[in-house]
Structure 1
Amino acid sequence: MVSSHKQTNMRFHVLCAAIILPLLTTSVSARFFPNAPSMPPSSPPNATTGGWDAFKRFAGCHAGDKADGLAKLKEYFHYFGYIPNSNFTDDFDDAFEQALKTYQHNFNLNTTGQLDDATLNQIVSPRCGNADIVNGSSSMNSGKSTPSTSGHFHTVGHYTFFDGKPVWPESKRDLTYGFLPDNQLSDTVKAVFTSAFERWAAVTPLTFTETDSYYSADLRIAFYTGDHGDGEAFDGVLGTLAHAFSPTNGRFHLDNDENWVATGDVTKSSISSAIDLESVAVHEIGHLLGLGHSSVEEAIMYPTITARTKKVDLASDDIQGIQELYGSNPNYNGSSTTPSQESESTNNSGAYTAAPRWSFGILLAVGFGLLML
């Protein structure tokens, strides 16, 4: 017969196990998607430690100069496709000057080849993690004539495509999309992506349907932090916000460390680093469908967006580009895209927050302490 003291101890241990084991399961999941490992050398500098803002100290640098830390800025240019090699020094050499001029041209800046204030302000802006130049080819600001309905060429587009111009095949005109289950997104947050997809559906023959089967979906949406295994590590608050892969890969990743705003007026947010979720979603969906970056600042496919900015309406440049790939929606009237619907906030600040991430070490320590009582 078991004594009452032993029975009490057994009940207590069972209770501890019932409390702790589910938490340990959660921590294993969190460890499977690392929170903030060190970034590989090929990744852009960490914006959370002032990495990008620190570039402003190079103001006035020009060809022939040598500045301590300039190699880190060259890494930035390498990451976004402007410099092909990765063996960097702190010398402001001819190759870097040429890369800088190409960057300035792409972003409609004066092509001085110098690190002037306007250029540096553009460099430190939050942006999409996709490269502006792929395989040495840049067409962001090349300009291309587009025909009118009468057959005459009268407008200039700056939309671009991925190398090889990949698209979803005609057999895939109803694309499915799903969300990584581990993120445990609310219906309110999911509705933001629905609205973003509708903007592209409004101008093309494509349709988008949500599915609960994430792993079999055509388009797979997930929030990650740091290095998440695709060679495109995230870098914390601001810096690179998200990235997406060309057709028919379907992967769309967002940096979970951002202060995402899913509802309300992001322009009035009290958080200086607040980023509008739908604005970024519309941009990255453009990549999922085959569009590259545009030099038109009003376009959704422009690479950067400042904090506390909402930009969700497709510009004519976006529409011309996507319709060159897929044709037009028969019901498209040639005006604006579908407006988003306002919905309830996911938390008091309106910022997106993922499921809690538990510290494995802390839980073990707490569990051990309880068991020793």
Structure 2
Amino acid sequence: MRSSAKRNYAFLLIFTFLLTHASASIYITPFEYLTKQYPKIYEGIKAHSLASKIWKTFKSIFSNDQKVGDTIKGLSYVKENLQILGYFNNTLINIDDTVTSYFQTVLKDYQKNFNLKVTGQFDDKTYKKLSSSRCFVPDIINGTNTMQETTTSFKPWWSADKKELTYAFNPENNVTNAVKSLVKSVFENWSITTLKFKEAKTYNDSDINIVFVTIDGKGGFVGGADSNYSSHIGTIYLDSDEQWILSSDNFNDGDEDLESVVMHQVGHVLGLEHSSVEEAIMYPIVLQEKKIKLVNDDDLQKISEIYKVKVNYGSPSSQSNNGGDVACCGWRGHIIYGLVNGFIYVILGIL
């Protein structure tokens, strides 16, 4: 390489570094993740080229009820979205702009899952839910509506002798130390399980791969997760086109809280599916409020069933079968729980 070319290359590297570290927001250059096969759901998203802008075409729908046989321009996008989320039986669906009785039945299932008025009409409230940023993991998997299930049949994808799962970031993403610290905190919050978590020294040796990848552009699907039972690897996907922020303070329109989304995706690789409970971490739509603590009974009940831990619902702590305390919120939970118990013992001693 000539000296002038070297200088230009060095300048470009420095400029890129300064640009990407100039604000509190996280920007990670999109790239095609070729080291592993995408989950089928991701391929479906890319094939349909879904993006948030398509929803703008539907606002005229809400003025009148939709009747079977009506043709509505752009309705095929709604069907494609519902198909990706598992609501359509692929053998019965016809992706077009025609309102069918089957479409209305499917829409009722969606409305029920998200606690909407069950009408089968594509109304304004249904539009707002469907067009919100969310996880691309389906709500209905192999015909099972996971959002209505109260129990789980999850079997660990890791080998039986594993007591500690390691995680690592794809090296091509060049994530910052701030992001690494955030993700470490997320795994600490999942310490209610019988597993321990540790960052791996190398990406190829990790049990859980974390990768930023182009999904469908800003908005729409912000991330997802997939588990491979043959290779014993779980993967968390995060959309590199999102405006990720490290703090939920001072949200701007279009910002996505990275910690809450990662918390949700880790829940998936540990065996949890989507929940209809809006306050739960496993609620599939990204809400503005930060969700990083396992305090909702819906999350706790399902995680306790998988990992055989006793949970004091409504409390920030739980107990394992051997009587040991397992804090649902990581080491911070242990400290708070210990201080509270110590205070109680002191008061009882005085009395």
Give the conservation status (yes or no) of the 8 Å contact 1:177–1:210.
yes
Which residues of 2 match residues 1-373 of structure 1 at below 5 A?
A: 14-20=2-8, 33=32, 42-43=47-48, 45-47=50-52, 50-59=53-62, 60-64=64-68, 65-85=70-90, 87-142=94-149, 144=150, 165-201=155-191, 203-225=192-214, 234-246=215-227, 248-262=232-246, 264=247, 266-269=248-251, 271-306=252-287, 308-314=288-294, 315-328=296-309, 330=320, 337-338=329-330
CA RMSD of aligned residues (A): 3.0
Structure 2, unaligned stretches of length 5 or more?
A: 17-28, 34-42, 310-318, 333-351
**SS at 2:134 equivalent:** coil
1:69, distance to aligned residue in structure 2 (A): 1.2
1:119, distance to aligned residue in structure 2 (A): 1.2
Give the conservation status (yes or no) of the 8 Å contact 1:313–1:339.
no
C-alpha distance after superposition, 1:252-271 (max 9, x if no partner): 11001111111x3x2413x3
User: Are the structure 2 counterparts of residues 298 and 208 from structure 1 closer, same or farther at C-alpha, using a change threshold of 3 Å?
Assistant: same
- Aligned residue pairs total 292
Q: Distance in 1 between matches of 2:112 and 2:81?
A: 17
Give the conservation status (yes or no) of the 8 Å contact 1:246–1:290.
no
User: What's the TM-score, normalizing by structure 2?
Assistant: 0.74
Report the equivalent of 2:338. Answer: none
User: Are the structure 2 counterparts of residues 41 and 238 from structure 1 closer, same or farther at C-alpha, using a change threshold of 3 Å?
Assistant: closer
Give the counterpart letter for 1:33 in structure 2: E
Give the conservation status (yes or no) of the 8 Å contact 1:161–1:291.
no
Moved more, 295-304 or 319-328: 319-328
C-alpha distance after superposition, 1:154-207 (max 9, x if no partner): xxxxx6566xx4454441120000011111111111111111111111x11111
**SS at 1:52 equivalent:** helix
Give the conservation status (yes or no) of the 8 Å contact 1:161–1:292.
no
- Which structure's residues are more often strand, by fraction? 2
User: Are the structure 2 counterparts of residues 310 and 161 from structure 1 closer, same or farther at C-alpha, using a change threshold of 3 Å?
Assistant: farther
1:57, distance to aligned residue in structure 2 (A): 3.4
Report the equivalent of 1:356. Answer: none
Give the counterpart letter for 1:84 in structure 2: N
1:25, distance to aligned residue in structure 2 (A): 11
Q: Using CA pairs below 8 Å that are at least 6 residues apart, which structure has the higher relative contact order? A: 1
User: Are the structure 2 counterparts of residues 175 and 105 from structure 1 closer, same or farther at C-alpha, using a change threshold of 3 Å?
Assistant: same
Identity, in percent, stands at: 37
Give the conservation status (yes or no) of the 8 Å contact 1:126–1:238.
yes
Greater Rg, structure 1 or structure 2? 1
Report the equivalent of 2:345. Answer: none
